[in-house]
Amino acid sequence: MATAVNASYSNFQVQKVHRKDILNYASLGANSNKFYILEIQEGIGKEPFAVYCEYGRLGSNPQKKHRFFSSLYGAEREYEKIKRSKESKGYKVVDVQDQVGQVKVEVKDARTKEVSQIKNKVHRLIGKLYQSATSYLVSSIQTPLGKISGTQVAKGLAVLKQIEELLDKGNPSIHQVQRLSDEFYSVIPVPFGSRVDVKRFLIDDYVKLNDKKDLLGVMSSVVQAQDTLEKTLQEKYESLNIKLKPLSSRTKEYKRLVEKVNNSHSSHHRFKVGVSEIFEVEDMVGHNEFNPYNVETMELFHGSRNENILSIMQSGLKIKPSSAVHTGSMFGSGIYFASEVTKSANYCWGFGNASNDSYYMFICEVATGKIKDYDSAQSHLRSAPSPYNSVRGVKGRSLYHDEYIVYKDNQVKIKYIVEFKKN
């Protein structure tokens, strides 16, 4: 038998948690954005078992209740009753790991240091990238629910795939889109605020869809390579399966690359790219599969937001999903490059970056081969037209800058990561 709800908890000392479930429910139309945390706790007290409940709206102060039991059996029955009740109302179980928080950077002597104080340049780079990725997650998902697990990310991607299929068919009903949007926010908890802006949160176009894919991509990157926040930087680096070598500023190669950057600023951009560090990519995923047809190559720039760099380091540059064709990609579903550094740098500005932040850009060897030139948009492209290997958007009528596009992952080899400041 349970004694009371909201009974005094001060004398109950928790020694063990037998079970824990986190549930979440979102409904844009009903302005509902609720979570429910359940635990079976065992401790020292008059009645040694408790069902602990914490619940409320995401982003607001939660309510907490305890119901005490004399036996584990009684606590389990109550726990199951509450869980079934919530699931029958549409709540989804959320699989989480440890709480998302400030990244702690650990070195071999187990002391915690600021990233800027780390002498090993590769470790310092990895520390900065994890800070960017984790800060992005914290700013995107400020919930009491903890770090989303890889399993939960997969559930979110499955819902986004259904939304993409709806959009691809054309003219989906608002009811269909809202139902799937509700399901997405139920499995990927995102605070709506005190009053939901339905138009903002409804995933009803490709821009919003790809924004959510970006969010889950960063989550997946952090989950795969950082199982816990306590890993050392060396362990995090090793988990990326990439081999980096910092270039000395005294080497000919470093000087050549800096000159390449300095000489490729566009007159259309009013900022300068100031190189801080250059890392040679000695090996990573896809290097051994590069340019199987042995066509001519070009050395080109590719920029991406700080939050995405870890994912790219793990998996390489990948062909955009078909949905990206609908978001302004002029030459279809490919990987885009520039010969002018500031063109690529424009894609590096992330969310909430400060003016003194570091940014990261890739210098790639690209198997361009025989190039087909276009001076107007060709958004239908899924491959270079035969017998060409790549496409160039020629500056002039529609573009301020040349763009180079390839349509196969094995046409790209990341050679260098350039850390830079925006001057």
Per cent of the chain over pLDDT 70 is: 82
CATH of the domain at 261: 3.90.228.10
Greatest mean pLDDT among 59-63, 115-119, 211-215: 59-63
Q: Is the pTM of this model over 0.85?
A: no
CA 122 to the chain's CA centroid = 21
CATH code of 140's domain: 1.20.142.10
Confirm whether 98 is domain-assigned.
no
Domain boundary among 179, 211, 239: 239
One domain, residues 234 and 252: no
315 inside domain: yes
Same domain? 232 vs 257 = no
Structure confidence by residue, pLDDT tens digits, 322-348: 544 444 478 988 999 999 999 999 988
* 327: exposed, middle or buried (Cβ count in 10 Å: 0-12, 13-18, 19+): middle
Beta-strand runs (E) in 13-62: 13-27, 32-44, 49-57
Q: What distance in Å separates the CA atoms of residue 233 and residue 123, rounded to the nearest whole number? A: 6
Three-class SS state of 410: helix
Same domain, 180 and 80: no
Domain count, the chain: 3
Q: Is 139 a member of any domain?
A: yes
CA distance 229 to 238: 15
Q: What is the Cα Rg of the chain in Å?
A: 25
Q: Is it true that the peptide bond before 387 is cis, omega within 30 degrees of 0?
A: yes
pLDDT in tens, 183-202: 999 998 888 888 889 999 99
pLDDT in tens, 288-302: 999 999 999 999 999
Residue 148 lies in a domain: yes
Q: Does residue 102 belong to any structural domain of this protein? A: no
**Would 342 be classed as within a structural domain?**
yes
Average pLDDT estimate for 84-105: 70
Inform me whether the pLDDT recorded for 203 exceeds 90.
yes
Among 65-69, 104-108, 175-179, 404-408, the minimum mean pLDDT is found in 104-108
Measured CA to CA, the distance from residue 91 to residue 110 in angstroms comes to 41
Whether 342 contacts 267, CB under 8 Å = no
Do 125 and 86 fall into the same domain? no
Q: Give the pLDDT of residue 320.
A: 63
- What is 304-325 written as a DSSP string? --GGGHHHHHHH---PPPGGGG
Both 286 and 413 in one domain: the answer is yes
Residue 416 lies in a domain: yes
* Residues 156, 252 contacting (CB under 8 angstroms): no
Contact 103, 132 (CB under 8 A): no
Q: How confident is the model at residue 176 (pLDDT cuts 50, 70, 90)?
A: very high
Of 194, 213, 239, the one marking the end of a domain is 239
Q: Are residues 19 and 151 in the same domain?
A: no
Domain with 277 in it:
243-422
Least confident among 229-233, 238-242, 246-250? 229-233
State the pLDDT confidence band at 44, using cuts at 50, 70 and 90: confident
107-124 mean pLDDT: 63
Q: Where are the alpha helices (DSSP H) in 141-278?
A: 150-169, 174-187, 198-201, 206-225, 233-239, 252-262
Do 176 and 311 sit in the same domain of this protein? Answer: no
- Do 264 and 226 sit in the same domain of this protein? no
Q: Given a cut of 50, is residue 160 above it in pLDDT?
A: yes
The Cα-based distances of 275 to 83, 216, 278, 282, 422 in angstroms read: 55, 30, 8, 20, 9
| CA–CA gap between residue 210 and residue 194 (Å, rounded) | 25
Helices (H), 276-389: 309-315, 341-345
Question: Domain check: are 290 and 418 in the same one?
Answer: yes
67 is a domain residue: yes
Question: What CATH number does the domain containing 21 carry?
Answer: 2.20.140.10
328 or 403, higher pLDDT: 403
> Which is nearest to 337 in space by CA: 345, 326, 325, 349?
345
Query: How far is 242 from 225, CA to CA, in rounded Å?
Result: 12
Both 87 and 228 in a single domain?
no
68 and 136 part of one domain: no
Q: Tell me, what's the pLDDT at 6? A: 46
User: Same structural domain for residues 124 and 36?
Assistant: no
**Residue 184's pLDDT is what?**
95
Q: What is the pLDDT of residue 141?
A: 52
DSSP 120: -
